[in-house]
Amino acid sequence: MYETLTQLRVRYAETDQMNVVYYGNYAQYFEVGRVESIRNLGISYKDIEEAGVIMPVVEMHVRYLRSARYDDLLTIKTTLRELPEDHRIEFFQEVYNESEKLLTSGRVVLYFLDAATQQKTPMPQNLREKLQPFFPAK
């Protein structure tokens, strides 16, 4: 398992007139969580794109349990439960507030695609090598 925590603060722009974070904005929070999770391995998602691989989201599932509010300092927990075997990677993501209450939980599936051909491609080798130690052989 590979798990990271990232923090961000809710912006005024992200609230709506229900006085909470607009439900669509969690996609951005999840994105920040995934990007920082990869950076924590010593690779940036930007590097991956520059090496010719893009990672479009193909599936997103979100459960909204409690609201996030303006100026809340949120913690995004991003978890890989399995080492990707092929072109598919699945992140489990949770958002907590400062009282450590779980606000939102999600699951996001992305594909690795060759940017030039738009065809599925396996996870880049440098990313695999960095992730391998977190998934010891059973």
Contacting positions for its own copies (CB under 8 A): 11-13, 15-20, 22-28, 31-32, 35, 44-46, 54, 56-65, 67, 70-71
CB of residue 75 to its own copies, shortest distance in Å: 17
Specify the residue, 69 or 77, whose C-beta has the smaller distance to its own copies.
69
For residues 30 and 57, is the Cβ–Cβ distance under 8 A?
no
| Residue 56: exposure state from Cβ atoms within 10 A (0-12, 13-18, ≥19) | exposed
Alpha-carbon Rg for the chain, nearest whole angstrom, is 16
Specify the residue, 107 or 135, whose C-beta has the smaller distance to its own copies.
107
CB of residue 37 to its own copies, shortest distance in Å: 14
Please name which of 27, 24, 49 lies closest in space to residue 38, comparing C-alpha atoms.
49
E strands, 1-138, where? Answer: 2-9, 53-54, 57-64, 73-80, 88-96, 102-111, 113-114
C-alpha 93 chain-centroid distance: 6
Specify the residue, 22 or 134, whose C-beta has the smaller distance to its own copies.
22
For residues 3 and 136, is the Cβ–Cβ distance under 8 A?
no
CB of residue 57 to its own copies, shortest distance in Å: 4
Specify the residue, 28 or 132, whose C-beta has the smaller distance to its own copies.
28
CB of residue 124 to its own copies, shortest distance in Å: 17
CB of residue 15 to its own copies, shortest distance in Å: 4
Specify the residue, 1 or 58, whose C-beta has the smaller distance to its own copies.
58
